Amino acid sequence: MIGPDDLRAAVGSGLISEAQAASLKALADTRNGARKDLAEGDEPFELFKGFNEIFIVIGLCILASGWIGVNSIAMIGQIGDVSGRVVISAIIAGLILWGLSEYFIRRRRMVAPAIALAVLFAVNSGAGLNAWLAAPFMVAQNDYSSLVLPLALSTLAIFVFWLRFKVPFAMALIAFGVFSLAILTGGIQAGVPAEFTDLFLLSANGPFAWITLLVGLAVFCVAMWFDLSDPHRVTRRSAQGFWLHVVAAPALVNTIALSLLEHDTAISNILLLCILLLFAFVAIIIDRRSFLIAAIGYIVTLAATVFDGEGAAMTILVLGIFLVFLGAFWTKIRATLLSLVSGVLPVHRLPPSH
């Protein structure tokens, strides 16, 4: 292990520069924060580094609530361009959030405040752009065309935020924005679906089910691009892939799950189980538990809230047994599968099986 004394000695001898030493230390701190006390083959996951980060997040939430409350009270009873005031408020809030991000993300490298600031920036951008560009009277008449440009610009604003601060969670917000934009565009072209479930049923009219599958596949491909560029999971590229997998898995599975659970028959449940086995195979090969748990969690939620029947309950029971089994033998199962596909897939670009 190379410690601080080794880095100072290397700088003193001229072997590396101070900038290189600082970069090495930052990389070591990042790896230590993500992988400290992890077992071999485990997937790094970090939401916060300490309670001080939670303290700051609570402060940010209270600050945002107070800002909204003060501006709302100031607009009560006033006559004039309310949307203009909302836009001005959003611009000021955006500058404040950007400044806070420079300090807490770029300088302090905090995890939980970075997530909170990304969400607040996304919400603030959406509120300001919708107040500026959306037409409420058109929306009231089920004409949502005026929402396309604000949603597209909001997604672009989050992308700019990500370019500057590289917050992994912002990738999930970008993916969600792209998905919402695709669904909104499809709804404008094909009409508003009669029921919410029609968005994802292959048996329903409209392009929504195929939009969901295609967007999910695109997000999965981007996630794999990040993963393949960092097979040892030591940089933030791995965290970017993590959050994209969390978005991609439900997007890929929801159309299949809803379409199969719609019938609630033994055959449909068996087919759903086969689909999940395929998802499990992919998740094990790429070593992403997050991909599998997001997919299964989504299906369990659907089965428990949308559909009734003994078949749905049995599906949940089988999925629980399946997850516990995988959790116990993940590393051994993965080593076996990698040996089987080593001649077909670029195993050297994937995390090692240990």
pLDDT tens across 184-195, in order?
887 777 666 666
Mean pLDDT in residue range 265-271: 70
If pLDDT is split at 50, 70 and 90, which confidence band does 246 have? confident
Mean pLDDT in residue range 160-171: 93
Select the more confidently predicted residue: 114 or 264.
114
In this predicted structure, what is the pLDDT of residue 58? 94
Select the more confidently predicted residue: 143 or 105.
105
Alpha carbon distance 3, 31 (integer Å): 14
Q: Is 212:179 a contact under the CB 8 Å cutoff? A: yes
Select the more confidently predicted residue: 60 or 42.
60
In this predicted structure, what is the pLDDT of residue 308? 58
Q: Percentage of the chain with pLDDT > 90?
A: 23
Alpha carbon distance 288, 265 (integer Å): 30
Alpha carbon distance 187, 169 (integer Å): 27
If pLDDT is split at 50, 70 and 90, which confidence band does 34 have? very low
pLDDT at 39 over 60: no
Please state which of the ranges 7-16, 96-105, 185-194, 216-225 shows the lowest mean pLDDT: 185-194
Type of residue numbered 218: A
> What is the pTM assigned to this prediction?
0.78
If pLDDT is split at 50, 70 and 90, which confidence band does 234 have? confident
pLDDT at 31 over 90: no
Alpha carbon distance 129, 87 (integer Å): 7
Map residue 118 onto helix, strand or coil.
helix
Whole-number Cα distances in Å, 314 to 17, 193, 266, 292, 310: 61, 30, 10, 19, 6
Q: Is the sign of the CA dihedral 146, 151, 152, 154 positive or negative?
A: positive
Alpha carbon distance 318, 135 (integer Å): 48
Q: Give pLDDT tens digits for 300-336.
A: 776 666 555 666 677 678 778 888 888 888 888 888 8
DSSP-derived secondary structure letter, 262: T
pLDDT at 38 over 70: no
Copy the structure tokens of residue 153: 């610009």
Write down the residue that tokens 């791995």 correspond to. 238
Mean pLDDT in residue range 177-202: 73
Percent helix, strand, coil in the chain, to 5, is 75, 0, 25
Average of per-residue pLDDT values in the chain: 80
In this predicted structure, what is the pLDDT of residue 316? 77
In this predicted structure, what is the pLDDT of residue 123? 95
Q: Give pLDDT tens digits for 247-257.
A: 888 778 776 66
Range from 80-84, 139-143, 316-320 that averages highest in pLDDT = 316-320
Q: Closest Cα to residue 249, out of 285, 299, 199?
A: 299
pLDDT at 222 over 90: yes
Q: Is 280:290 a contact under the CB 8 Å cutoff? A: no
Q: Is 111:46 a contact under the CB 8 Å cutoff? A: yes
Dihedral over alpha carbons 190, 192, 194, 200 (to 10 degrees):
70
In this predicted structure, what is the pLDDT of residue 257? 66
Alpha carbon distance 295, 43 (integer Å): 17
Q: Is 21:215 a contact under the CB 8 Å cutoff? A: no
pLDDT at 174 over 90: yes
Copy the structure tokens of residue 86: 């909302």
Copy the structure tokens of residue 295: 């997919």
Alpha carbon distance 149, 133 (integer Å): 7
If pLDDT is split at 50, 70 and 90, which confidence band does 161 have? very high
Q: Closest Cα to residue 252, out of 288, 291, 307?
A: 291
In this predicted structure, what is the pLDDT of residue 259? 64
Sequential DSSP letters for 13-82: TTSS-HHHHHHHHHHHHHHHHHHTTPPTTPPP--S-SSHHHHHHHHHHHHHHHHHHHHHHHHHTT--S-H
Mean pLDDT in residue range 120-134: 91
